[in-house]
Structure 1
Amino acid sequence: MTQGVSAAASTLQRPALWTIPVYTGSAEALDAKAHALGERLALIASRHAQARFASSLAAEDMVIADAILRSPAAVRERFSIFTLQTGRLHAETLAVLDAIDTRYGYAVQAYEPDLQAVEQFVAQYGLNGFYDSVEARKACCGVRKVAPLNRALDGAQAWLTGQRREQAVTRLDLPFEEQDAARGIPKYNPLTDWTEAEVWAYLQRHDVPVNALHAKGYPSIGCEPCTRAVRVGEDVRAGRWWWESKDTKECGLHEQNIKQH
């Protein structure tokens, strides 16, 4: 009996985790948002013969992937989708690659970090040295994410991301189109003005495959050791690099566009 009471008390004390938000808008409003997204993709396609979409395989990026892969051929063929296989992703994240292939018949290209660069990072900082300082964490992101991104974007005329203004204090002024000064190409954020509820309403309406971690309290998903579930009321990116200040929570992919070789 005592064990049962203790177990019940333990369950009650567990913090409530983030859950998929409920969309309270109309179906017409959501359809208008989706139509506007399609128009944005068509605009990008009209400007660039080779635009590349950097997908984290999380919720926002699955909205864009679905919209691209269901677009008319004249638009779809202007885009290629890639992801950064950092070597430290969750198994659930990697499973999304198979889900995309199964659903759309499309193979997302994966870019991996240079093995020697990873070994040099580990030798200098330790395998999990990114916990020790912002400098070390950004060095890890530089090796595992930024350098592969640079290879992925070599020769691209433009690139796309799944960023939204609502996600973080570092993204409050995020425009639809900006200039990647380091690479000399435009960078587009087609979901910049979307809300979290709109993202999930779209995914559910179109039955888009999603990362299984979302159902376990993960609204934003990165590398496994740098991501945790988020409690109710926390910022949606609170689970990313949770040991740092919210003002430093960028990996370098979208911060200052510093190109590294």
Structure 2
Amino acid sequence: MYTQEQIDKINLSLKTPEDALRWAYDTFGDKIAKASSFGPEDSVVTDMIIKVNPKARFFTLDTGRLNQETYDVMDAISKKYKINFEVMFPDTTQVEQMVRTKGINLFYDSVDNRKLCCEIRKVRPLNKILSTLDAWVTGLRKDQNENRSKAAMVEIDKLHGGIVKINPIIDWSWDQVLSYIKEKNLPYNKLLDQGYPSIGCEPCTRAIKPGEDLRAGRWWWESDTHKECGLHMDHKT
């Protein structure tokens, strides 16, 4: 367990995403894993991780409502880097009960319903795997939304028992992400070409319109600009 003072010192010593990843894998060994939802940022961070630690662990949350394009890029990344993704599924009984009582598209009916669906399909499976880890790696960036603007490269994850959370490209811009993918010729989610800069479950994600925020396509029927599914800490609190 790290104190905030220790984390602050670590952040001051890290200058690049690669610095953060080398520190993370030297420190946590096989008790750290990369979470992937197969958005563009995940393609970038995965490529960086493999160069630092070819045997690194990766996991993903299969909610049962993902786009085919997401499965396609998962397969492509798995083959390119020889990664065996640890796929976490929601509890079948919980999903069945939720659908029977709330309906298959419950998330459109209310914010509470949407959060319940995220809780069962995403948050609980994430909590299950994070409870076995000392640290995890994400593809978060500050300019994704206001909530993430205060995030740091290395953080104490208070949502998950105080484990360490590493956000190696937290200070990167959207253009840097796209440039890296193009320069390295990385596999990426083809939904990006259809106007999806942020990719989640199929019924809860749409392409964005010109001038819209990069995450405007997530839960677009809700008005709150700080929308999250519960996987990441609200940095406003």
Q: TM-score, normalised on structure 2?
A: 0.88
The 2-side partners of 1:81 and 1:129 are apart by 30
Which residue number corresponds to residue 196 of structure 1? 174
1:184 alignment counterpart: 162
Structure 1 residues 76-119: Cα deviation after superposition (integer angstroms, max 9, x where no partner): 44x31111000000000011121012211212221111110101
Is the CA contact (8 Å cut-off) linking 1:230 and 1:238 kept in structure 2? yes
Match of 1:41 among 4, 14, 21: 21
Report the alpha carbon displacement of residue 56 of structure 1 after superposing the two structures with TM.
0.6
Residue of structure 2 in register with 1:69 after alignment: 50
In the alignment, the residues of structure 2 paired with residue 101 and residue 172 of structure 1 have an alpha-carbon distance, to the nearest angstrom, of 31
Q: Is 2:20–2:166's contact at 8 Å kept on the other side of the alignment?
A: no
Q: 1:168 aligns with which of 129, 145, 148?
A: 145
Cα drift, residue 248 of structure 1 = 4.2
Match for residue 209 of structure 2 among 212, 216, 231: 231
- Say whether the 8 Å CA contact 1:217–1:230 is kept in structure 2: yes
> What is aligned with 1:57?
38
TM-score (norm 1): 0.80
Letter of the structure 2 residue corresponding to residue 99 of structure 1: A
In structure 1, C-alpha distance between the alignment counterparts of 2:225 and 2:161, rounded to whole Å: 25
- Partner Cα distance (1:245, 1:66) in 2: 35
Contact 1:238 1:246 in 2 (8 A): no
1:247 CA displacement:
3.1
Alignment pair present for 1:136 and 2:116: no
Q: Partners in 1 of 2:144 and 2:226 — Cα distance? A: 14
Shift of 1:252: 0.4
Rounded to whole Å, the distance in 2 between the matches of 1:118 and 1:63 is: 32
Higher Cα Rg, which structure: 1
Q: How many Å apart are 1:256 and its aligned residue?
A: 5.2
1:65-104 paired onto structure 2 within 5 Å: 65-71=46-52, 75-77=53-55, 79-104=56-81
Partner of 1:254: 232
For 2:207 and 2:218, how far apart are their aligned partners in 1? 9
4+ runs deviating over 6 angstroms: none
Greater CA drift, 135-144 or 118-127: 118-127
1:14-65 per-position Cα deviation (integer Å, ceiling 9, x unaligned): xxxxxxxxxxxxxxxxxxxxx9221110011122122111111110011111
Gap regions ≥5 residues in structure 1:
1-34
Paired amino acid for 1:235: D
Summarize the alignment of residues 99-118 of structure 1 with structure 2, pairs less than 5 Å apart: 99-118=76-95
Identity %: 45
Write the distance in 1 (CA, Å) between the matches of 2:224 and 2:149. 13
What is aligned with 1:216? 194
Corresponding residue SS for 1:249: coil
Partner SS state of residue 70, structure 1: helix
> For residue 147 of structure 1, what is the amino acid of its counterpart?
R
Query: Are the counterparts in 1 of residues 146 and 226 from structure 2 also a CA contact under 8 Å?
Result: no
CA distance in 2, matches of 1:246, 1:93: 26
Matching residue's letter, 1:238: A
